[in-house]
Structure 1
């Protein structure tokens, strides 16, 4: 019997489409004896377990310091970079042997760091930055201050074929005093968004009879729609259309099954909640 392995979420940043596809294909063929990996889509709201950035993309490198503590949020740079970031680097061309060796060491260090935090009783604090840094700390801090928003006070609305996920989310955020509602009807969802304070709408793309893109467009057309963050919950088999999602105002996606830590971290960012 084969042991089921936890797949680590990897974000690829700053690569050309060709190199992105090449590294993603390589990660999908991870050796059976080591960790398994999957690549997050660009629109994913999930915090990666590990980030791989191209050394010649300044914007991708600028986002790395936002990951915080290196052991908990490891990053790997491919190629030469213009600044010394104190991160592990591998040269191009990328070979599978070197890539998996470095990544295995990074995720091992991450697991050890998380184990130490859990043993100490300290909370795991996820990254709460809504947007990537603009550059390598060259932006006037006042610009970031202007971008800050006050915490949202509306409810989280779950649109799903059943109420089980709503109940699970409610248990996870029970100490926050946050309202969590549920419906399996698009018309009911629109009515709730129009008549009650709603801050986040989470749509299960497997919900019967609901087009998530059309629903998001309809929510955004309402007077209160601009302040509502619409998130799609997608499985690996769902044909997610990034261009259509962005055009209708979808904030991002979460891959199913959604780890509790990823779910809570996404809600903290979307609602500007303290850690």
Structure 2
């Protein structure tokens, strides 16, 4: 268990609650642990109090700070990384993952669909503030899409009953003036559309399977559309589950992580009770134009 605690440092800090520039600093212990999942356990032990092995005395609980912050945010704060800024991985400080073949067995070290996958110590990463030349935006690959369902007359489409008959997608690079891919996956035949590649599919199963393969092949950084978070993605995932398409819900960049639609509830006096779908797309950003 001692291997899970990397360091314990004594620092002078002030609580952010009611913070003022001249707020009194107090001595606090900064505890760094090996894995994010260790944070919750450490917090529980420290707040509930503990006793030493062989000792009858009980140590009172401590107040903890910043233990409910997502580890990704913690990493960004520690390394001064902000959203979409440029970072540098210095030469000689990283290890590129690749396929390794040993005898008759093949061990896959690559865990994602990224073009380059590497390991680096966090503190070897160099983060550049968004100033001067580092203000330019990377040529991010952006995909927008929309689906069409064959709904029953007078009834809003339901994934248990109503099929998806078309999915239209466009891909553009940030900074370009025109899209470089325009495609429509359609169930059955469809008239030709100027400048658009029409992919005719014989079955809905084939349509959904080919579109999922298309997303993984195009590998967009950002996926956008109108109401895609609360409708399109949730509908496609539910429809694929209904049709038993086991390969469909792997739309993020981590190969073994399923994309799911989880219902979250937000409640406030101003907006009342609102339900939203939370879609995980590891390695991609979902930008819904409606939200």
> TM-score, with normalisation over the residues of structure 2?
0.27
Structure number with the bigger relative contact order (C-alpha 8 A, sep ≥ 6) is 1
- Give the structure with the larger strand fraction: 2
Query: Max radius of gyration: which structure?
Result: 2
